[in-house]
Amino acid sequence: MRRQDAAVRDGPAKASIKDTLAVLAEVVVPTLGKGVLIRRPRVVALAERLNLDGRAVRRMQYLRRKYGGGPLLLAVPGRPQAMILTAEHVHQVLRGAPEPFAPSTLEKHAALAHFEEKVSLISQPPERAERRRFNDEMLENDRPVHSMANRFVTVVDDEARKLLSETGDDLSWDAFITAWYRVVRRVILGHEARDDQNLTDMLAKLRAAGNWAFLHPGRKQLQRRFHERLKEHLKRAEPGSLAARIASRPNMEVTASADQVAHWLFAFDPGGIATFRALALIASHPEAARRVNEEIATAGRANREELPFVRACILESVRIWPTTPAILRETTEDVQWHGGVLPKNTHVVIYAPYFHRDDENLPEAHRFAPDLWLEAAPARRWPLIPFSEGPGICPAHNFVPMLGSMMIAAILEKHRIALQDPNRLQPDRPLPGTLDNYTLRFSLANS
Ligand code: HEM
């Protein structure tokens, strides 16, 4: 049994049946309903209209007031489910990966095994260590600017130019995500994969099956076809792509590199969502737009890899509307907390929007505040964890803002953008609980 030593006000508390039902109805069901691995656009639209995410955050605040520090054990049959309620506990749990708080949980396994059985996120020690190392090395987890960034700028510029010439003055989600995935396939697999939309579509179908986790029997043939195609692309090891980097690394069978890359292809979808929403935030906030334009103009093409303010806008996009709303852990042993024990196999849930949008603790909760990401560390004790933190932090936490900011710069370099429906985001009103990216549309004008 391990002791968690930070100061903790209260021990694990038990939620009443009524409160448990309220959490299921207001937090769990809407999160699952929107789709965990691939979003269901109609449910996302409904969530924005009914402000479901705002209600979920208020429910969690209520639980904190009622039960204190927690963690809060829900009154559900089967294995224990614990909701994390305090900032200290978030840091404690995330610091404790992979043991005693394993990132690999039964639920995640059931969902992701539909297309990436050996991805690091659902791997156990000792295999996890090599798979995590592969991700860290290839994506350069620690470096704000990837060593191949120069090459990626060229790819992004090329695709953004084609996107803008095709869309004219009207930029829709469909056009954006098509261009974004051309960038992603070129960056990861090389130019030959640019037009292999079928690869992305096959993965989308597998992700849709994964949304149902245990409840879907799986699509084994499709999974095999997807992996065969992916491996063909990887085998080419096209110079200038991450596939070439992978080929130059001494990978082992245990690395399961294709499974790691399948995750990259999947996870760039939320990367695109975050980037498109960041464009909406910039378009609707004139002062931020001014700073963005100034930064892009000052940097010029040569310094596109840096753009700290544009990156901060993307980080704000995932703070305000986290694309991984639930960070899940599973206890690998009984864990002693001040005032109680979290039993082995407890499913631990950190609901990110509750911390990111907690207006009782974060004054900026409902407004666009990119400076949150530019300030020095002390203010950051409050958990802003769109990419998680600690040993299980997303290894692309630098890569995603880097690629996204390159895309935003390529679009805004010569264009002014405006939301076609300006009522959806207004700088003097609290930001909505979620923003349906699928129906966002921009008007573009030459600047
Ligand atoms: C907006 C975009 C993204 C967000 C918000 C995001 C967020 C996260 C979060 C919160 C986790 C931890 C999940 C958990 O512990 O349950 C995670 C893990 C991971 N992410 Fe991302 N991610 C994004 C995009 C990407 C991309 C584009 C890649 C790859 C190119 C990537 C690669 C990974 C990998 C490999 C893991 C597993 C790490 C491990 O096993 O420890 N992510 N991501």
Q: Give phi and psi for 210, each to the nearest 5.
A: -60, -30
362 alpha-carbon distance from chain centroid: 21
9 pLDDT higher than 60: no
CA-nearest residue for atom 25, ligand 1, is: 267
| pLDDT tens by residue, 314-332 | 999 999 999 999 999 999 9
DSSP class of residue 147 equals: T
Among 433, 398, 414, 133, CA closest to 300: 414
105 CA closest ligand 1 atom index: 16
The confidence score (pLDDT) of residue 386 equals 98
403 CA closest ligand 1 atom index: 27
| pLDDT tens by residue, 134-151 | 999 999 999 999 999 999
Residues across the chain: 447
Q: What is the mean pLDDT of the chain?
A: 94
Buried b (16+ CB within 10 A) or exposed e, 348-363: bbbbbbbbbbbeeebe
What does the CA dihedral 18, 21, 22, 23 come to, rounded to 10 degrees?
Answer: 120
With a Cβ cut-off of 6 Å, ligand 1 is lined by 103, 120-121, 132, 135, 139, 263-264, 267-268, 270-271, 274, 318, 323-324, 327-328, 386-388, 392, 394-396, 399-400
Tally the C-alpha atoms within 13 A of residue 384's C-alpha that lie toward its C-beta. Answer: 26
Residue 336, H or E segment: strand 335-337
189 pLDDT higher than 80: yes
pLDDT classification of 433: cutoffs 50, 70, 90: very high
Is the distance from CB of 255 to CB of 138 less than 8 angstroms? no
Tokens 């149902």 correspond to 212
The confidence score (pLDDT) of residue 4 equals 41
The SS3 assignment for 330 reads strand
394 pLDDT higher than 90: yes
CA-nearest residue for atom 26, ligand 1, is: 267
For the chain, what percent of residues have pLDDT higher than 70? 97
**Residue 249, number of CB atoms within 10 A of its CB:** 13
| pLDDT tens by residue, 331-350 | 999 998 877 899 999 999 99
* Domains along the sequence of the chain with CATH: 2-446 (1.10.630.10)
* Separation CA 265–CA 219 (nearest Å): 18
